[in-house]
Amino acid sequence: MVGAPPGLVVVLLGIGFLADAAGYRFIFLAIAALLLVPLWFVNRVRESSTRTTEHTFDRRAFRVLLAPRYAAFCLVLILAGTTSRPASRCPSTGDGSPNSGSSRTATPR
């Protein structure tokens, strides 16, 4: 038996080869179709209408997110998202294509 980590690598390599051959749209649609199977099983589960006090959700638990450390973390994420430069921008041409200048070959003079 190989185990989960090598199996995950093999599956991800297979998805990468499929994405290269068929395109990312096909991969996203295939994954969405595969996720419909567990969704069907989850929707068949019925919960009881009455819950004990230990199993009820208290919405006041969201107040923890207003603590200063969580607010600071959210601020850092917002600043990082708004101030970082996209990696796909080509600095020489600025046209947005990641390989805009690398695929051209030099012509001899």
Q: Give 69 or 97, the one with higher predicted confidence.
A: 69
For residue 99, the model assigns a pLDDT of 52
Question: Long-range contact list for 73-81, CB < 8 A, 24+ apart?
Answer: none
| Token pair of 101 as six digits | 């200048």
First to last CA, the chain: 60
Query: For residue 30, is pLDDT > 80?
Result: yes
Task: Give the total residue count for the chain.
Answer: 109
Neighbour count for residue 30 (Cβ, 10 Å): 14
pTM to 2 decimal places: 0.40
Query: For residue 94, is pLDDT > 80?
Result: no
